[in-house]
């Protein structure tokens, strides 16, 4: 059964990219305007807008520093894949548990409990954060509020330094897996098993610490994804 499923995923990647690349969108009506905004290019940026005068309004996120997708993930069918490209420019080095960005999924009731979802139950995320344990910027994955993986030296922690990060997320409801992929490095970062999808899961996007750095996050979906052979192999590996 497992071999058959992997063959199905491989065939899907080969023959039908559109079925894999889910058409997610940032929810502009949920954006926490106290901390972030979506600019004219459609990127999520970690600061208040100078021109966006829309009122905070009912329904906006008030705790989470970012936004969610306009709809939850499909709960059946083929695997879903999306990417984000982050560009950051440091003003000052980060300290403590200073976050740069977060991408992941969670249940609806966990979307606005805190500034991030990594410590929440029924959540699965990848964070780029200053790690007090290692004293450097690390890439961390979290599952249901528990720390799973910490990879040190993701970025130099220096003032006036600029970087680009490119991550992919693949979610397979049938096999109850979500995996994080480093697109630039062509490698699977982490695969989380036994994902609880008994209730709908919402993609989340967070950008942080506007006084220490500038972060802009571009969501890449559908036909905009450059589905290379290397990327197809990584997705199959992540789901194996």
10 has a pLDDT exceeding 70: no
Secondary structure (3-state) at 72: coil
Q: What is the pLDDT of residues 101-148, one digit of tens each?
A: 999 999 999 999 999 999 999 999 999 999 999 999 999 999 999 999
- Residue 16: the pLDDT is 46
How would residue 23 be classed by pLDDT, with cut points 50, 70 and 90?
confident
- What fold does the segment set 2-238 form as a domain? Jelly Rolls (2.60.120)
Task: Please state the domain extents for the chain.
Answer: 2-238
Distance CA 63, CA 117 (A): 10
Query: 102-120: b or e for each residue (b if 16 or more CB lie within 10 Å)?
Result: bbbbbbeebbbeebbbbbb
Q: What are phi and psi of 10, to 5 degrees?
A: -60, -45
Distance CA 68, CA 26 (A): 6
- Token pair in block for residue 205: 């996007």
């Amino acid at each position: 059964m497992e071999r058959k499923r992997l063959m199905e995923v491989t065939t899907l990647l080969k023959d039908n990219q559109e079925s894999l690349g889910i058409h997610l969108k940032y929810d502009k009506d949920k954006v926490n305007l106290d901390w972030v905004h979506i600019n004219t290019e459609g990127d999520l940026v970690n600061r208040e807008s100078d021109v966006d005068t829309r009122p905070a309004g009912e329904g906006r996120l008030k705790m989470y520093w970012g936004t969610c997708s306009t709809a939850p993930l499909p709960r059946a069918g083929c695997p879903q894949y999306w990417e984000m490209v982050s560009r950051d420019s440091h003003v000052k080095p980060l300290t403590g548990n200073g976050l740069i960005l977060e991408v992941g999924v969670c249940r609806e009731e966990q979307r606005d409990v805190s500034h991030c979802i990594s410590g929440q139950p029924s959540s699965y995320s990848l964070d780029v954060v200053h790690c007090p344990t290692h004293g450097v910027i690390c890439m961390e994955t979290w599952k249901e509020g528990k720390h799973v993986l910490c990879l040190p030296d993701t970025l130099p922690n220096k003032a006036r330094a600029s970087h680009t990060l490119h991550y992919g997320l693949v979610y397979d409801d049938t096999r109850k897996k979500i995996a994080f992929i480093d697109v630039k490095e062509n490698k699977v970062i982490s695969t989380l098993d036994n994902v609880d999808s008994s209730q709908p899961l919402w993609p989340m996007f967070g950008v942080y610490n506007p006084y220490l750095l500038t972060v802009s996050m571009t969501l890449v979906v559908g036909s905009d994804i450059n589905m290379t052979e290397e990327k197809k192999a990584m997705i199959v590996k992540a789901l194996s």
